[in-house]
Amino acid sequence: MAVSRSVRRGLAALAVLVTVSALTTPAGAQEPPPGGTGDTTYRESGLPGRSADAATPGRATAAGENRPVGQQAGYPRQTSLREFPENPDDKAIKLGLTPYHDIAPQLNELQERSDRVSAEVVGQSTQGRDLYLVTLTAPESPAEAARQARWRELIEDDPTAAADNERLAREYKAPVWINANIHGDEWEGTDGALDVIERLATGDDPAEAALLESTRIYLTVTNNPDGRVAGTRANAAGFDVNRDHLTSSQPESRAVRDVLLETQPLVMIDEHGYTGTTLIEPGTPPHGRDYEYDLYIKHAYENALGMERAIGELGHEETARADIPFRDFAPGEWDDWPPIFTPMYSIYHGAVGHTVEVPLRVNRAEYEQLPVEELRRRSSVNRDVADATITSAVEYAEEHRGELLADQIETYRRGWAGEPQRDIPDEYVPGFGEEDRYSAEFPRAYVIPAGEGQRSAPAAARLVDHLVAHDVRVSRAQHTFHLDGQRYRKGSYVVDMHQPKRGLANAMLSAGQDISGDVPRMYDISGWSLGLLWGATVDVATDEAPAVRTAPVAAAGPTGSLPPSPNADLALTLTDGADVQAATYLLERGVEVTRGEDGTLVVPASARSEAATAADRFGVSFTRAGKDSSGTPVAAPVIAAAASADELAVLRGLGFDVRPVSTAVLNDGFDFDGVSALVVSTGLDHDALTADAKRRLQAFLDGGGGVVARGAGGAAFNEAAGLLPVTAVEGRGDANGVVSVTDGEGGVLDRAPGHSFVYAPLWFTGLGEAVTAEQRYTRDPLVSGHWRPGEDVGGPAEAAGEASVVSGVTDDGTRAVLFGTEPMFRDHPKGLYAQVADAVFWTS
């Protein structure tokens, strides 16, 4: 049964829109700027639990209007944008570029002057600034716009019919999406986009008018306004938004995800800086193995050449040529392997995606040190480059509209048909060879079991909702079925891989691939797997689809429950981050929770009402506690954390009271009063602490405070503080990926999953008598990713069988847990969050 995307996404929004609350506020979030509300609803919280207690009628469309689902406005869709107070501290001002507070006035003025331009709000940033979507197109009646929307859905839902529709071929407007300023201190994409908007909205060139008759140009003029104002690469929560598209943990990435899904562009450009010479993708190998790469590379390469010609015509000495990584770089230097970057993520939705890096650096040290005149000269060149590359890409889309459209249709058709990817011959485009061949054998289906076969029902529900939010089609079995000798209960979820976006589904759910032998190094992460790292059981059906009647899923079903006995104490096992959220919720409300030796939490029958609220809110299941349910009373942990922004976000999202610390903070007199655990991964150098800071730290440890340490920074702190007697062995700093692990000899992480994530992996040897291996790398640990041995550091063979996580008690009674893995990396390995909480509770 095919259900149109507008209906699926509308139902999903009705079912799972949740209001971001204090519980799910990202680390680093601040009060909204003057004029900003800061009150925003999102389809997903991006945090460990899944809230099922809030349903909001209606939806905010990609165009930012609150319209009933299915109601299609025409163009222009002009909005009176709220205008923010002038901010003289906006970092763009020094560069002679547009400060954020001037964007809305410019767009409002253009809307008054032109019926070719629409400006709308598609969401808010972390600090509450509006995210703008500008659409350039010739005026359309509501009926004409509705026809375009039906054709867009037909392309995905029934590509065979779309390919045969002659009127669609003639009249479908080619969508092009430009995303700018995703890195806040890479400014000029915004200004180049504004230049294009003004020219096409107000010019009298007949060719440009004709362009807008056959094309819709969508521009998100600043994807990271908080970073733009502050002059930071990351958003206000400390996240790199251009690493967040697989997880969509941030409001900025969720907003542009929804723009992408609603506009379905044929071509997309992501404007960045600064690489010295203008850089224009396509990238080097390894290429994303789940792409329909033949349909992508032929356009990407030609479009890149056109953009290179366009910047050459600017006449600037610095723009005489471009670097095209596919053509000019060695394998691994600038790859398109992971779906975390905006253009790479867009390829899975049928777009020809490019990163463009404008050439001349004006941020960081240069921003502080260069004369203003030179900074503005450089910014002017960069602005010209952004304008030229946007203009050239739009012209490519207009000139090649028919072929681009046919190839997007073909991408979806192959998915529906379950056809294999195409073999690509040498010199398919100049330079294409054996090193460029990456492909996947798609399984027939994935099954996310219900019932006793599922490790964590909340984790499964969260995964299903995430897939649906990303336009992966999921269905629910209407009765019990058998597949590959296994019985699956009614209600199990099926991801049939005969679907239009099978590449994205596979990139999300598959185990991935070990590419260590393919290239010498990688640009960023090389292994990821929501199927292995999000805490849910996900089974793979290689050859056979489930023979069962299914119904399309708009949102996962509720998973929270309590046992029927009203007078029995309740047990909660911390299997998933959602369980941790439920526990901290109860502790915050003064419920007397105890913890057994196996880590199970017991809630008294008298708190059944509070437990029912937690079960509903976080989707967790309480069971009946045993007759002997005695344990240690649990207090709500208070954490002092010397950790990265992503780790702080996870800890706060789990509901812990987190107080960021560092060497400087401790030296300034940080008071450990009330703190129960110290989390250390970065920013805390024990040797650099003052004598007084060391005294206060030692008093904390002597008073029963525990330590949870991660990575090289945590291991160095452990050694300097004289905690656990172990030797930490480091792998390569750029090694990363999904690893298989096995239970060790301890009892702190008994429920940890069999896979973990590493970046700059660490392992522990020489364990003293008081130290226990909680987890070990398996004999062949790397499942997917890139992990080679270095000259002085080991690879997977050296880590095999060694301890990846250890725990122990010092002679003075301090409890400590050391992680050599990365259980909180970029809000990605959500299935590992409960083991972090186990460590916090045990050490507290």
Give the pLDDT confidence of 116-161 residue by residue, as tens digits. 999 999 999 999 999 999 999 999 999 999 999 999 999 999 999 9
Average pLDDT rounded to a whole number, residues 290-316: 98
> Beta-strand (E) ranges in 227-333?
267-273, 279-280, 284-287
Q: Which residue, 494, 518, 552, sits at the end of a domain?
A: 552
Annotated catalytic residue within 395, 398, 410, 647: 410
Q: Answer whether 7's CB lies under 8 Å from 69's CB.
A: yes
Average pLDDT rounded to a whole number, residues 180-187: 98
For residue 287, give the nearest of 518, 82, 479 by alpha carbon.
518
Q: Decide if pLDDT at 51 tops 60.
A: no
> Which domain covers residue 536, as residue numbers?
445-552
- Give the count of domains, the chain: 4
Question: Within this chain, do residues 184 and 207 fall inside the same structural domain, yes or no?
Answer: yes
Which pair of tokens denotes residue 678?
Answer: 């110290």
For residue 783, give the nearest of 761, 805, 765, 803 by alpha carbon.
761
Distances (CA, A) of 473 to 407, 505, 603: 21, 8, 38
Contacts 24+ apart (CB under 8 A), 433-436: 435/285, 435/331, 435/518, 436/285, 436/287, 436/293, 436/297
Q: Which residues contact 331 (CB under 8 A, 6 or more apart)?
A: 284, 285, 286, 435, 518, 519, 520
Length of the chain: 844
pLDDT number for residue 59: 26
pLDDT number for residue 832: 98
Choose between 1 and 175: higher pLDDT.
175
pLDDT number for residue 55: 28
Average pLDDT rounded to a whole number, residues 504-531: 98
For residue 357, give the nearest of 281, 266, 285 by alpha carbon.
281
**611 three-class SS:** helix
Element (H, E) at 219: strand 215-220
Q: Decide if pLDDT at 70 tops 80.
A: no
User: For the ranges 11-25, 62-76, 665-679, which has the lowest average pLDDT?
Assistant: 11-25
In b/e form, how buried is each residue of 28-42, taking b as 16+ CB within 10 angstroms?
bbeebbeebebebeb
CA separation for the pair 581, 583 (Å, rounded) = 5
Question: Within this chain, do residues 748 and 762 fall inside the same structural domain, yes or no?
Answer: yes
Q: Interior CA angle at 176 toward 173 and 182, to 5°?
A: 155
Residue 7 — very low, low, confident or very high, per pLDDT cuts 50/70/90? low
Question: Within this chain, do residues 24 and 101 fall inside the same structural domain, yes or no?
Answer: yes
Question: Within this chain, do residues 685 and 775 fall inside the same structural domain, yes or no?
Answer: yes
Query: Rg (Cα) of the chain, in Å, rounded?
Result: 27
Could you tell me if residue 79 is inside a domain?
no
For every residue of 57-78, DSSP letters joined together read SSEE-TTS-EE-TT----B---
Average pLDDT rounded to a whole number, residues 2-23: 46
Q: Answer whether 65's CB lies under 8 Å from 205's CB.
A: no
Report the percentage of the chain scoring pLDDT > 90.
Answer: 89
The residue type at 443: P
pLDDT number for residue 50: 28
CATH number of 738's domain: 3.40.50.880
Question: Within this chain, do residues 489 and 344 fall inside the same structural domain, yes or no?
Answer: no
Q: Which residue, 395, 416, 437, sits at the end of a domain?
A: 416
Q: Answer whether 570's CB lies under 8 Å from 625's CB.
A: yes
pLDDT number for residue 10: 56
Question: Within this chain, do residues 485 and 386 fall inside the same structural domain, yes or no?
Answer: no
Which pair of tokens denotes residue 528?
Answer: 């990821």
Average pLDDT rounded to a whole number, residues 36-44: 28
pLDDT number for residue 67: 38
- Location of structure tokens 């969260």: 462
Residue 631 — very low, low, confident or very high, per pLDDT cuts 50/70/90? confident
pLDDT number for residue 819: 98
Could you tell me if residue 72 is inside a domain?
no
pLDDT number for residue 791: 87
CATH number of 292's domain: 3.40.630.10
Could you tell me if residue 84 is inside a domain?
no
pLDDT number for residue 198: 98
Residue 6 — very low, low, confident or very high, per pLDDT cuts 50/70/90? low
Q: Which residues contact 519 (CB under 8 A, 6 or more apart)?
A: 285, 286, 331, 332, 335, 786
Mutual angle of helices 577-588 and 645-653, in 10-degree steps: 60
User: For the ranges 8-22, 378-392, 555-569, which has the lowest average pLDDT?
Assistant: 8-22
| Per-residue pLDDT tens over the stretch 249-271 | 999 999 999 999 999 999 999 99
**Positive or negative torsion for Cα 450, 456, 462, 466:** negative
Residue 750 — very low, low, confident or very high, per pLDDT cuts 50/70/90? confident
Question: Within this chain, do residues 231 and 201 fall inside the same structural domain, yes or no?
Answer: yes
pLDDT number for residue 266: 99
pLDDT number for residue 598: 85
Could you tell me if residue 399 is inside a domain?
yes
Distances (CA, A) of 235 to 224, 557, 661: 6, 33, 20
Could you tell me if residue 435 is inside a domain?
no
Q: Can you say how many angstroms the Cα of residue 585 is from the centroid of all Cα atoms in its chain?
A: 25
CA separation for the pair 140, 477 (Å, rounded) = 42
Which pair of tokens denotes residue 8?
Answer: 């699926």
Question: Within this chain, do residues 283 and 156 fall inside the same structural domain, yes or no?
Answer: yes
Could you tell me if residue 171 is inside a domain?
yes
| Per-residue pLDDT tens over the stretch 698-711 | 999 999 999 999 99
Q: Decide if pLDDT at 527 tops 70.
A: yes
CA separation for the pair 202, 542 (Å, rounded) = 55
Most confidently modeled range among 18-32, 63-77, 401-415:
401-415
Which pair of tokens denotes residue 131?
Answer: 């995210």
Other beta carbons within 10 Å of 17: 20
Annotated active-site residue 410? The verdict is yes
Alpha helix segments (H runs only) across 654-752: 663-667, 691-702, 711-721
Q: Decide if pLDDT at 715 tops 90.
A: yes
Residue 481 — very low, low, confident or very high, per pLDDT cuts 50/70/90? very high
Question: Within this chain, do residues 625 and 663 fall inside the same structural domain, yes or no?
Answer: no
CA separation for the pair 104, 94 (Å, rounded) = 19
Q: Answer whether 383's CB lies under 8 Å from 195's CB.
A: yes
pLDDT number for residue 21: 29
In b/e form, how buried is each residue of 447-463, taking b as 16+ CB within 10 angstroms?
bbbbeeebbbbbbbbbb
Query: What pairs with residue 757 in β-bridges?
Result: 738
- Location of structure tokens 């981050």: 577
Distances (CA, A) of 38 to 41, 129, 249, 653, 667: 10, 8, 17, 18, 34
- Location of structure tokens 């096995």: 742
For residue 726, give the nearest of 697, 765, 698, 760 by alpha carbon.
765
Question: Within this chain, do residues 344 and 388 fall inside the same structural domain, yes or no?
Answer: yes
Mutual angle of helices 833-843 and 645-653, in 10-degree steps: 80
Distances (CA, A) of 817 to 441, 662, 802: 40, 19, 16
Mean pLDDT of the chain: 92
The residue type at 359: P
Residue 597 — very low, low, confident or very high, per pLDDT cuts 50/70/90? confident
| Per-residue pLDDT tens over the stretch 371-429 | 999 999 999 999 999 999 999 999 999 999 999 999 999 999 999 999 999 999 999 99
Question: Within this chain, do residues 160 and 278 fall inside the same structural domain, yes or no?
Answer: yes
Could you tell me if residue 432 is inside a domain?
no
Other beta carbons within 10 Å of 138: 18
Question: Within this chain, do residues 501 and 610 fall inside the same structural domain, yes or no?
Answer: no
Q: Which residue, 519, 552, 585, sits at the end of a domain?
A: 552
CATH number of 592's domain: 3.30.70
Average pLDDT rounded to a whole number, residues 286-298: 98
Average pLDDT rounded to a whole number, residues 557-579: 96
Could you tell me if residue 437 is inside a domain?
no
Average pLDDT rounded to a whole number, residues 27-42: 34
pLDDT number for residue 37: 30
Gap between the terminal Cα atoms of the chain: 52
User: For the ranges 58-67, 289-298, 605-614, which has the lowest average pLDDT?
Assistant: 58-67
| Per-residue pLDDT tens over the stretch 211-246 | 999 999 999 999 999 999 999 999 999 999 999 999
Does pTM surpass 0.75?
yes
